[in-house]
Structure 1
Amino acid sequence: MDQEKVNILLVDDQPAKLLAYEVILKDLGENLVIASSGREALEVLLKTEIAVILVDVCMPELDGFELAAMIREHPRFQKTAMIFISAIQVSDIDRLRGYEMGAVDYVPVPVVPEVLRAKIRVFAELYRKTRELERLNHELEDRVRARTAELESSTAKLRESEQRRSMAIAAGKMGSWDWDWISGDWMWDDGQYRIFGVGPESFEVNPANVQALLHPDDVDQLRKAIAEFNKGTRAYETEFRIVRPDGEVRWCVGTAAATVDERGRVVRVSGVTVDITERKRAEERQNLLAREVDHRAKNALALAQSIVRLTRADEVKDYVSAVEGRINALARVHTILSLSSWQGAELSRLIDEELAPYSLGDQIRLAGPEVQLLPATAQTLALALHELFTNSAKYGALSTRSGRLAIDWQVEDELLTLSWEESGGPLVMTPKSRGFGTRSLLASVESQLGGQAQFDWRAEGLLCRLEVPLTRKTATAGLGKFDTGGSAELQRASG
């Protein structure tokens, strides 16, 4: 491969000598640059990269020593090789002065061509090698910088990925762990500590301490997992419970995978733990809700069956109207209860729903505090209020524009007392026998809710007083009684 030529500067004030140097050095195959004075040599140096300077010591204006001193002052040329040529005998002092000025060698006159070519060749090759080393060094530095940048970028991406993983683990209530099967050493990340409710500063991760945090009924899961891995299983998943130091029980699902050596022996087990407590609780709520829906559906069907079976009318049209009214009353209270997720219903809301079909204006007066009824109490009381409103709209105060109805209620010692007072309607006479509405109202309030219903058939209007316990024990007991024998209760009331 052809070598890159280097520049050799020849400095002498005598053209004949310059020509002689050119002839001698031509065979080197390098670029020869001519300067006939020190100042011209300086101009060349500022424009051209020079490998070796061959300079005459004795020159007018600037001699070789002065030129060498000026060259060495410039940072670019502090390492440029300079060879002095002297036609006079040079003393040791002059030689030392020349070396101090930066000379690397002396060539006496007359010049021996072979010696001069050898010296120039050595310094030219040294310059070439130095430049090659510098180039290689720059390339190496560039590669190091590029590699460093790649590593920094890779590290940043890895750090970012780890941060995302940590965030995902934290958001997903996950933890990761690693178990050295040979040494028994464990490694937990922050998520694992968080799930178990312990901290790395106070909890030493080892089989005994981990087992102590497992629910007693689930300790065998750990033993079973170890046994499976010893049998050659490579992956294992199971659900288990932990008991945190504060006593809280958490549900988890654990997934583990084994790493084996060249002989197939387990050397390491790594895994992920996921806290599924909320999911378990949601499943429990869902199961409870399903049972509750089934229970309420049966209650509603029992009520509907009782309404259909016990409703009496002389004509089919009246029968259908009565059944539809009672079923609609049941549907309205179910809507109210569903809006509260079956937590209960307000008494005033039940009354408003029953009033909705009538345009009564100022005929009705309501007074009473906010009362929250249990679902069972709300269902039964809604049907009782429906019977009172229906009876009043057909035969009582609400059947005429002059009629008035006052509904007052109050609560004392968990007992709801509701007063129904009609006035201004048709003349009221005490009935000779109780109709279905009255019988069903008595049955529902007294038999199902454990309360009392009192009727006073005054001439000026019906006065009814209902007393209904609001405690959960009484209300649920009544509901259970209605579920199993509600129709029978109504039948006995109609008998």
Structure 2
Amino acid sequence: MSRVPDMEPHGPRARVLIVDDDERNLLALSEVLTPIADVVCSPSGRDALRQLLRDEFAVILLDVFMPDLDGYETAAIIRQREQTARIPIIFLSAVNKETEHLMRGYEMGAVDYVFKPVDPVVLRSKVSVFVDLFSTHRRLEESERRQASILRALPMAIYEVTERDGELLRQFRGGDLTHFLGDQAGAVERGERQWHDWVHPEDRPRLSQEPERGGDSVTVEYRWIGPQGARHHILDQRIATGSGSGPRRWAGSLLDITERKELEARLVHAGKLDALGQLTGGVAHDFNNLLAAMLGGISILERRLVMGERERVVIDQMRHAATQGTELVRRMMAFARQQDLTPDSVDPATLCDSVAGLVDHTLGGKVQVEWECPQGAMNLFVDRGQLELALMNLIINARDAMPDGGTIKVAIVAEESKGSRQPMIRLSVSDSGTGIPEDVLERVTEPFFTTKEAGKGTGLGLSMVAGFAHQSGGEIRIDSAVGRGTTIDLILPATEAAPAGAAAPAGGQQGLDWLKGKRVMLIDDDEAVRTVLTEQFRDAGGIVTDYASGDAAVAAAEAKAEAFDYILSDFAMPGLDGLATLRRLATLTPGARTALMTGNADDARLGDCADTTVVRKPLNAEALARIFA
């Protein structure tokens, strides 16, 4: 017979086992002890042994005189079993009160010997001591189990160490050593191998680092290479625990901080890229002003001067250099994710055709390109010009990685969606070239980082591709190994919309003849840009009034009302910026068509100009014609 255990807020109550062949004694004792524990009653020694197989008890109250199996025999069996040997036993007896019976009871492992009839207060006090001890022990075991579970779940190990002959000998006491060592964990725990066997050779001296003067703790970080080649960063912390003249003893922990170190490196890298991106955006404005003045000045010289063949070669080289500078700025802006993108639907098949025509003459006879660009239901949704440039960069990089020739594989396939509602397309460029070493793989998208020889690469190609991918809402993935080649995947947004019309062929520049007889207000704080644009517009027959600031232009318009056909203003100017200037002039010169010039596509500053046409510096005739003509 037994009672159903009551549950306490912090877990089950302790159990007490009462063994007596008299049911009246069982009932009486149960009523006395129920307030302090859950009571399980057993009418015989054999039944008590069965109860001990099922449950755990804080104390056993055992009647001495019982038929079949008496209390002494029952106690002997209890003491023989490892699981029950340490349970306290209190003997109960109504007849065996002689000293020899008391001595036999204590020899059988009893902690007390109580005579019937028992005093309820005395018995409850005696049993309460063992119930409290049992509950405390169980809470301690539960706490140790929780701590062990937490340690096993953490990438750490606990050790004790003895210093012997200047060497620290570790003995591991807990944690998850298999996280670091896998199958070799057992060999280290048995002392067959030592932890320092896997510490990076350059970092091993740190293991013997002494505490700071007056201290008794040591904290070191070092690199650790596991049995399977896995690389970790370890935080090793230990504190002195022993005292006296003997060998110094320590207790410590090993924590895998690899993820933290990688995160720190990524944050530092991101900070550098963000700083460089901001610097790029700031420099771009001034640099584009210089290029605008150079390109505009070259156009003016061509129209106004009669040049011989050699002079024209010089002019062409000047224009080529300035155009290359424009391309360099555009790549830097692409890296900074600040270039102006115009996404549209792009058919993969026509993309491959157009890029193939551009790169064929650059590959040489040793390198071939295999194109896998089937026409499907989905099209790319990106800026076509930037995508073509990115794909050309990837193909040329692949060519350079195969100096002995080979095959470049270009494939465009649908990318399986992983929780994102936006459909994506994967554009892959693979080569079988030299591959990228692991130690530089994470740096290849950094601006100005290149593995090519001096003079053979700017280090902006992959950074531009990565910037384009991220600004387009996609990502770049790079898989490479030395001797195995490289595969670069661009994961880009897709659309079911019909492809945009084919881009107009290059060539046949449109001039500025449409400016003839038109009144133009030009506003720019850069004197060189303002002078060159003014001369270009006047050469085309335009009637130009120029101002060095937005404040000056607004003041002039307020003082004297004039009609203008076109107003062209720089954006970044001291005082009134270009956007505010155009909005003020809209009420003073109604009917004029306006446009904003900028050399820096800073989205945060230009985000409020959806109602204003924006043109990028350096200007060209085609761009102006699309806006005004």
Structure with more helix by fraction:
1
Q: What band does the TM-score fall into relative to the shorter chain?
A: 0.3 to 0.5
TM-score in terms of structure 1 length: 0.37
TM-score in terms of structure 2 length: 0.30
- Bigger Cα Rg: 1
